[in-house]
Amino acid sequence: MIKKYWDDPLYRFLLKAVFVYAIWYLLYQQYLHPAGKLDLMVIRNLESVSGFILESLGFSLISESEISSIRTIGIDGTHGLWIGDPCNGLTLFALFTGFVLVYPGDWKKKAWFIPFGIITIHILNILRIIWLTLTVYFFPDPEILDFNHTYTFTILVYGYVFYLWYLWSRMGTPIKPIVDEE
């Protein structure tokens, strides 16, 4: 019975995807998240790159002595933006990577497409942090920040990840022409 499902490419993909996600989830929940080092490393990078860009655009940032948490970035005169672990992009990196790993395709292509995807997702997250920081500055109403954080960027970021998956599904496995056997 299991062989019947394993022989079906769709079921094989889904089983592999669930298995890879379960491994990531257990690894992250049991070891990586409690240790906190990986999350903090990504958040510090988001803060530093976003801060550099904001300062390059002429904004003065809240000094570190004014920030109650190392996970906060803000423009002077605002309360800043706190970056939590769920917002750092690690789960998206894992979901994207897992999909590409279990989806059929050439391993040489996977070797460059996975880092490309992770880097571009991270860049998109940097742009998201910048935009939300500017939102706090120009539109101090918390409802505007909440709407953009909850809806606008969720749609944009997940939409981009789905687009990358689509690209991989088109690029990873060549489309075989249907041959009519008569």
Other CB atoms within a 10 A radius of the CB of residue 169 amount to 14
What is this structure's pTM? 0.85
> What local confidence, expressed as pLDDT, does residue 92 receive?
93
Q: Tens digits of per-residue pLDDT, 107-119?
A: 999 999 999 999 9
Spans of the chain, pLDDT less than 70: 1-2, 5, 64-69, 172-182
Cα–Cα distance between 67 and 178 in angstroms, integer? 61
> What local confidence, expressed as pLDDT, does residue 95 receive?
92
> What local confidence, expressed as pLDDT, does residue 173 receive?
65
> What local confidence, expressed as pLDDT, does residue 13 receive?
85
Of 100, 97, 158, 94, nearest to 125 by C-alpha is: 158
> What local confidence, expressed as pLDDT, does residue 39 receive?
92
- Could you list the beta-strand ranges (E) of the chain: 72-73, 81-82
The answer to whether 24 touches 98, Cβ cutoff 8 Å, is: yes
Cα–Cα distance between 124 and 133 in angstroms, integer? 14
> What local confidence, expressed as pLDDT, does residue 63 receive?
77
Direct distance between the N- and C-terminal alpha carbons of the chain, in angstroms, rounded to an integer: 32
